[in-house]
């Protein structure tokens, strides 16, 4: 821990300025981060399942493309969750407005695109 702030090196490096927010807000921010991570893991599991349990609904090439896209979206959501957690924590410490969640459009678009692909696969 650093002696002057009572915080560890990582906290001092990630959050160099501002005041400690109410712990309830920090914990709420952490719960939101964990919810995004669960969503990321669901996309990752979906991509792995699509490839591992090869069902002949899609051509092999398309199945692999869809699996890679799902895994990639899961990775992007995970990175976005970490970025958002840091940005929100810094905003709270600086008593500024909270940033807009940039991963929401990504997740919405990805879910919509997946729905279209599944509907087309069922109908065709």
Q: What pTM value is reported for the model?
A: 0.78
Number of helical H runs and strand E runs in the chain: 4, 0
Count the Cβ atoms, other than its own, within 10 Å of residue 73.
24
Distance of alpha carbon 12 from alpha carbon 93, whole angstroms: 12
Count the Cβ atoms, other than its own, within 10 Å of residue 81.
21
Q: E-assigned strands of the chain?
A: none
pLDDT score for 33: 95
Q: What is the pLDDT of residues 79-119, one digit of tens each?
A: 999 999 999 999 999 999 999 887 788 778 878 888 887 78
Q: What is the pLDDT of residues 44-76, one digit of tens each?
A: 999 999 888 877 777 888 888 888 989 998 999
CA triple 49-54-56, angle to 5 deg: 135
Confidence of residue 3 (pLDDT cuts 50, 70, 90): very low
Domain layout of the chain by residue ranges: 9-123
33: helix, strand or coil = helix
pLDDT score for 110: 79
Q: Which two tokens stand for residue 108?
A: 């919405």
């Amino acid at each position: 821990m650093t002696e002057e702030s009572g915080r560890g090196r990582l906290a001092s490096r990630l959050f160099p300025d501002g005041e400690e927010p109410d712990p309830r807000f920090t914990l709420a921010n952490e719960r939101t981060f964990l919810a995004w991570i669960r969503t990321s893991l669901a996309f990752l599991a979906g991509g792995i399942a699509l490839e591992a349990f090869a069902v002949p609904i899609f051509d092999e090439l398309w199945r692999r493309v869809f699996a890679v896209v799902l895994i990639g979206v899961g990775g992007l959501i995970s990175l976005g969750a970490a970025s958002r957690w840091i940005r929100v924590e810094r905003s709270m410490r600086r008593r500024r407005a909270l940033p807009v969640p940039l991963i929401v459009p990504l997740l919405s678009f990805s879910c919509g695109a997946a729905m279209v692909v599944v509907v087309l696969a069922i109908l065709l």
